[in-house]
């Protein structure tokens, strides 16, 4: 099998044979050493019979992105992808997918960073582009994805750290919070539900008080569709909230007061007000989910099962170990309750008595 490299402008191209027919293809790189590696990979793919030429001319970004968006079912995901695609089209224009090179992707990263855009946001945009190009490659609309030579940005340094609420702060918050905010906070702290799509959209029919379970039927991900056990504290708080509302007020646990047939979309006004009244610095209500995870870990629950309770794991694991995971979930909630009880007892011990014990 023969192959060779040659330059067109500053980019290296490769020529190779499939049967008796010569093919020419851009390596999309200016680095000759890297271009040679790409050529070697292509020749190996041809020999192994796993390389196929594109079926047709590659589509343009505008057309392909519209079809890509139509395939996304989840509205929140579609909204997020729409934002990313707007940024991508602004930089790349209505280019053929085959013309998107690693160099241009790196240029996109540099340009966005120069605009003081966070690395995490840029990576979300790149993830959308990578997903589209992967689909195009699988459909043989392009020969290969340029992301084989592209690294995502390091985002851990500027990632916002969640606020971990202490037990003392929790008591202060719940003492002054409105009834609906109190019920919502306890729900997330005791179950780890996502605040928007899972907690605020919860219906009373999703809660089985007899079995002590909450069924999450719609979530951000497939893995998020799960059954979460309730602690006794969570059950008591939700029953208290239902009695305050009245059983026939709404099918939703957190209804819109003006339109009970719908649920609250957010608590962006009530939540900051409750924190301010309690004398606690502002943090996102979503961070209560991280508090739940932190407390479970502190109570000795395996990180694997913490992730599964919160809806992070793949559905395959849940199906294989369904019974064991269900039992472990209940055990995890019991450990959380034990941790809270221990913290409450510790808080009630007078300082003098506590100091004496430390000396002894």
Domain that holds residue 144: 61-149
Q: Are 23 and 15 in contact (CB under 8 A)?
A: yes
Tell whether 158 is covered by a domain: no
Tell whether 54 is covered by a domain: no
Sign of CA dihedral 177, 182, 188, 189: positive
Confidence of residue 83 (pLDDT cuts 50, 70, 90): very high
206 and 171 share one domain: yes
Using the predicted structure, report yes or no on whether residue 184 has a pLDDT greater than 80. Answer: yes
Using the predicted structure, report yes or no on whether residue 44 has a pLDDT greater than 90. Answer: no
Q: Is 202 left (phi over 0), alpha (psi -120 to 50) or beta?
A: beta
User: Higher model confidence: residue 179 or residue 312?
Assistant: 179
CATH number at 272 reads 1.10.443.10
Q: Are 177 and 279 in contact (CB under 8 A)?
A: no
DSSP state, 205?
G
Helix (H) or strand (E) holding 203: none
Half-sphere exposure of 205 (CA within 13 A, CB side): 4
pLDDT given for residue 350 in this prediction: 56
121 and 195 share one domain: no
CATH number at 127 reads 1.10.150.130
The mean pLDDT value for 33-39 works out to 87
Structural domains counted in the chain: 3
Instruction: Determine the Cα–Cα distance for residues 176 and 185; give it in Å rounded to an integer.
Output: 12
Question: pTM surpassing 0.75?
Answer: no
Q: Are 337 and 233 in contact (CB under 8 A)?
A: yes
User: Higher model confidence: residue 344 or residue 147?
Assistant: 147
Helix (H, G, I), strand (E, B) or coil at 24: strand
Confidence of residue 55 (pLDDT cuts 50, 70, 90): low
314 and 216 share one domain: yes
69 and 194 share one domain: no
Task: Express each pLDDT in 100-143 by its tens digit.
Answer: 988 889 999 999 999 989 888 999 999 999 999 999 888 878 87
248 and 107 share one domain: no
Tell whether 134 is covered by a domain: yes
Task: Express each pLDDT in 185-237 by its tens digit.
Answer: 999 999 999 988 899 999 999 999 999 999 998 766 666 688 899 999 999 99
pLDDT given for residue 168 in this prediction: 92
DSSP state, 154?
P
Burial class (CB in 10 A: 0-12, 13-18, 19+), 356: exposed
Sign of CA dihedral 57, 63, 65, 71: negative
Confidence of residue 52 (pLDDT cuts 50, 70, 90): low
Task: Express each pLDDT in 290-310 by its tens digit.
Answer: 899 888 888 888 877 888 888
Q: Are 169 and 280 in contact (CB under 8 A)?
A: yes
- For residue 190, give the nearest of 169, 162, 213 by alpha carbon: 213
Tell whether 162 is covered by a domain: no
pLDDT given for residue 28 in this prediction: 78
């Amino acid at each position: 099998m023969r192959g060779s490299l040659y330059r067109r402008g500053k980019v290296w191209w490769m020529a190779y044979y499939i049967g008796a027919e010569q093919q020419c293809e851009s390596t999309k790189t200016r680095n000759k050493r890297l271009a040679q590696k790409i050529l070697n990979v292509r020749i190996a793919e041809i020999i192994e019979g796993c390389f196929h030429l594109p079926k047709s001319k590659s589509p343009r970004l505008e057309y392909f992105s519209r079809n890509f968006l139509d395939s996304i079912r989840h509205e929140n995901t579609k909204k997020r992808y729409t934002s990313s695609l707007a940024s991508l089209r602004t930089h790349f224009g209505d280019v053929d997918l085959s013309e998107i090179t690693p160099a241009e992707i790196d240029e996109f990263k540099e340009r966005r960073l120069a605009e003081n855009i966070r690395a995490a946001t840029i990576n979300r945009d790149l993830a959308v582009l990578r997903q589209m190009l992967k689909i195009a490659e699988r459909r043989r609309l392009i020969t290969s994805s340029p992301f084989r030579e592209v690294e995502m940005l390091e985002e851990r340094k500027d990632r916002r750290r969640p606020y971990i609420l202490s037990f003392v702060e929790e008591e202060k918050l719940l003492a002054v919070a409105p009834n609906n905010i109190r019920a919502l906070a306890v729900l997330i702290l005791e179950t780890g539900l996502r605040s928007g799509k899972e907690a605020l959209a919860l219906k009373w029919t999703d809660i089985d008080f007899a079995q002590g379970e909450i069924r999450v039927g719609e979530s951000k991900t497939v893995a998020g569709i799960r059954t979460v056990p309730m602690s006794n504290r969570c059950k008591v708080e939700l029953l208290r909230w239902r009695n305050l509302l009245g059983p026939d007020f709404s099918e939703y646990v957190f209804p819109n007061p003006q339109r009970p047939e719908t649920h609250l979309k957010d608590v962006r006004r009530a939540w900051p007000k409750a924190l301010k009244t309690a004398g606690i610095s502002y943090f996102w209500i979503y961070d209560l989910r991280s508090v739940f995870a932190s407390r479970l870990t502190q109570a000795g629950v395996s990180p694997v099962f913490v992730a599964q309770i919160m809806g992070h794991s793949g559905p395959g694991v849940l199906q294989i170990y369904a019974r064991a995971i269900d039992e472990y979930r209940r055990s995890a909630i019991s450990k959380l309750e034990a941790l809270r009880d221990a913290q409450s007892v510790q808080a009630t011990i007078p300082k003098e008595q506590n100091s004496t014990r430390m000396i002894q």
